[in-house]
Each structure stands twice: as structure tokens, then as C-alpha cells.
């Protein structure tokens, strides 16, 4: 397997990782808003600067545990990672430094209780808080899953909200597959202008 196999252009999450590659090593504060099974946290932690701080949030205790397990398995040092269980809208409001990178991977834990999923209202609230705390040139990535009714409502709400961000303050864009069957995940990208 080459490095290129790790980054196929077919998936919102791998697109997010690819786009973040040059930014992660330069970031001082990073947040995984939904750490789930830990893949995104592991991606950020494996590339971040040794002096950076990474927060891993999830509403479920089992997700925090799964994330800690994957990091241990990959021998990733957790000294600069803060794990917090709770709702990300609440947790992010306590971060008191400008944030360089925020990653939302919405929806539910594939291997867990599908009834526990991100919800439009809370997601928008959390995004708003992040927009107020994001550093200049900082980036917010949001992978959204329109394949379920609630996921579709959430994706629409996120899209509608991000469409009206002031162009003078933020670059707001999206990426979506155009030849995939069903309802593939989409990626939204916001960057605070410098
Ligand atoms: C698609 S999974 C995340 C996948 C994960 N990033 C990974 O790499 O494996 C979505 C996660 O969002 C979490 N979640 C749902 N609502 C949340 C909330 N209000 N605050 C924080 N996490 C939440 C779920 O518990 C679930 O683990």
C-alpha cells in the first residue's frame, strides 16, 4: 500500500484529511468534535506539532475509550491530548485559546448505538461557537451524512447556515461526490480569513 492508497478522492473524511495535511503540523490548538472510534483523532495526533494541544470530544464514554485504545494501539503519545466526554457545544465553549483546526464528523458511531447521533440544532450551535473562537486562517471541517432522515435534515441545516456566512470574514465551501449511488457523505469547509 502506498501513501496514495490512504487518500482516495471518494470520501468526505479522506478529503478532509487530505486538505488538512499541510495545516495540522502548524496548528497550536486542534479539536476533534466527535472522536467516535478515534480515527480522526489519530490522524490529527500523528501529524501535530509536539507543543500543540488536541481536544477529543464525544458525548459517549465508549467513544472516548475507543479513541484512547486506537491511540495506544498506534503508539501515539497522548500527553498533549485532552479527552472530554460531553456535548461538544458545551465543551468547546470552555476552550479559551484561539482554535486552529476543528473537525466535525457528524452522525452516529457505525459500530455503536445508531440512536445516539449529532443533531442539527446542537451542531449549528457548536459551529457558531467555533466560528467565534477560530484563529485567523483557522479551518473548520464538517463531514455530513445525508443518508438518513435526521442526517439529511442536519446536512441541510449546516449547508443553509454556512451559505450565509459573511464572505468578508470566512471562506465557506463544500465538496461532494457526483457519481456515487445513494446519499454519500459531503464535506463542508470554512476558513476564517486572515
Ligand atoms: C461518525 S461518528 C465520529 C467518527 C469519528 N470521528 C472517528 O474517527 O471514528 C459521530 C460521533 O458523534 C458523537 N456525537 C453525537 N452527538 C454529539 C454531541 N452533541 N457532542 C459530541 N459528540 C457527539 C457520537 O457519539 C459519535 O461517536
Nearest protein CA to atom 22 of ligand 1, as residue:
58
Q: What is the chain's pLDDT, residue by residue, as a tens digit (194 residues)?
A: 456 777 889 999 999 999 999 999 999 999 999 999 999 999 999 999 999 999 999 999 999 999 999 999 999 988 999 999 999 999 999 999 999 999 999 999 998 999 999 999 999 999 999 999 999 999 999 999 999 999 999 999 999 999 999 999 999 999 999 999 999 999 999 999 98
Q: Which atom of ligand 1 is nearest to the CA of 122?
A: 19
C-alpha 109 to ligand 1 mean position (Å): 6
DSSP at 108:
B
Cα separation, 10 vs 176, whole angstroms: 9
C-alpha 168 to ligand 1 mean position (Å): 31
C-alpha 38 to ligand 1 mean position (Å): 10
Strand partners, 191: 139, 171
Q: Kindly list the structural domains of the chain, giving each domain's residue range(s) and its CATH number in brackets, ordered by start.
A: 11-20+29-192 (3.40.50.150)
Q: How many CA atoms lie within 13 A of 17 on its CB side?
A: 20
Category of 11 on φ-ψ map: left (φ > 0), alpha (ψ -120 to 50) or beta: beta
Amino acid at each position: 500500500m502506498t501513501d496514495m492508497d490512504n487518500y482516495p478522492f471518494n470520501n468526505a473524511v479522506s478529503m478532509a484529511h487530505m486538505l488538512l495535511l499541510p495545516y495540522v503540523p502548524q496548528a497550536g490548538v486542534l479539536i476533534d468534535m466527535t472522536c467516535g472510534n478515534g480515527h480522526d483523532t489519530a490522524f490529527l495526533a500523528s501529524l501535530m506539532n509536539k507543543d500543540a494541544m488536541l481536544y477529543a470530544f464525544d458525548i459517549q464514554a465508549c467513544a472516548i475509550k475507543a479513541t484512547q485504545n486506537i491511540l495506544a494501539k498506534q503508539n501515539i503519545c497522548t500527553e498533549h491530548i485532552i479527552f472530554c466526554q460531553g456535548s461538544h457545544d458545551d465543551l468547546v465553549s470552555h476552550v479559551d485559546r484561539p482554535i486552529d483546526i476543528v473537525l466535525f464528523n457528524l452522525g452516529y458511531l457505525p459500530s455503536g448505538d445508531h440512536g445516539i447521533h449529532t443533531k442539527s440544532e446542537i451542531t449549528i450551535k457548536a459551529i457558531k461557537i467555533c466560528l467565534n473562537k477560530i484563529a485567523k486562517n483557522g479551518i473548520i471541517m464538517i463531514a455530513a451524512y445525508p443518508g438518513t432522515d435526521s442526517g439529511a435534515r442536519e446536512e441541510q441545516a449546516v449547508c443553509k447556515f454556512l451559505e450565509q456566512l459573511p464572505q468578508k470574514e470566512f471562506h465557506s465551501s463544500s465538496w461532494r461526490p457526483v457519481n456515487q449511488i445513494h446519499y454519500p457523505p459531503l464535506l463542508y469547509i470554512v476558513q476564517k480569513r486572515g
